[in-house]
A and B are shown apart, each in its own frame.
Chain A
Amino acid sequence: GQSLEQPSEVTAVEGAIVQINCTYQTSGFYGLSWYQQHDGGAPTFLSYNGLDGLEETGRFSSFLSRSDSYGYLLLQELQMKDSASYFCAVRDRDNYGQNFVFGPGTRLSVLP
């Protein structure tokens, strides 16, 4: 089985940088994904790390350290529209990695 931990809430101001951490325990690992969900909306895919290191996509970056079972999502130049919940997710080793297990989510509030 899998378990993931994330901080429940993070607050930052517009223009700042914020880091959302995710630690996981897994019996098998196929990579770490990040999803964004606005209130009342559907989750949307942000990024994926299959190997150690940093992946950058515009203002968002994601990092993975497999030896530490740890990853983070870095959001730069924060904007009000970034206020949302952010979920990390790993593939479950059961059933040959055919489904995701999601973390509990981190609610990000961006203040003016």
Chain B
Amino acid sequence: NAGVTQTPKFQVLKTGQSMTLQCAQDMNHNSMYWYRQDPGMGLRLIYYSASEGTTDKGEVPNGYNVSRLNKREFSLRLESAAPSQTSVYFCASSEEPRSYEQYFGPGTRLTVT
């Protein structure tokens, strides 16, 4: 039981490049989330998917797109990376949309130069 997995672990991009962060969970959870965490700050929600087939914007969605590929997988795409998107990105899942416990992946450390 791997829990929540994310790839890649580290990535360096140049301004204007695009990339997709991958996330998968094997806990049969309905809800999945993407957060970003900047140094010394809490987690800010980018997008979430309450259930398979649905996605909604969170607090900081600009510059990102998401795809809920199936129940297991939820990807985050940066179409044209900017230095302001340098951050650590965490994917999380929960059993239901209103579950109070979320399970987090190990994170992707992204640097945009």
Which A residues fall within an 8 A CB radius of B? 4, 8, 30-31, 33, 41-45, 48, 50, 87, 91, 95-105
* Chain A residues within 8 Å of B104, by CB: 42-44
| CB-based nearest A residue for B6 | A42
How many residues of chain B get a CB closer than 8 Å to chain A's CBs? 24
Which B residues fall within an 8 A CB radius of A? 31, 33, 40-45, 48, 50, 56, 58-59, 90, 97-98, 100-107
| CB-based nearest A residue for B31 | A98
Q: Which of A42, A44, A91, A105 contacts B98 (CB 8 A)?
A: A91
Known contacts A42-B90, A42-B107, A99-B58; A48/B41 CB under 8 A: no
Inter-subunit contact B45/A99 (CB<8 Å):
yes
Inter-subunit contact A50/B100 (CB<8 Å):
yes
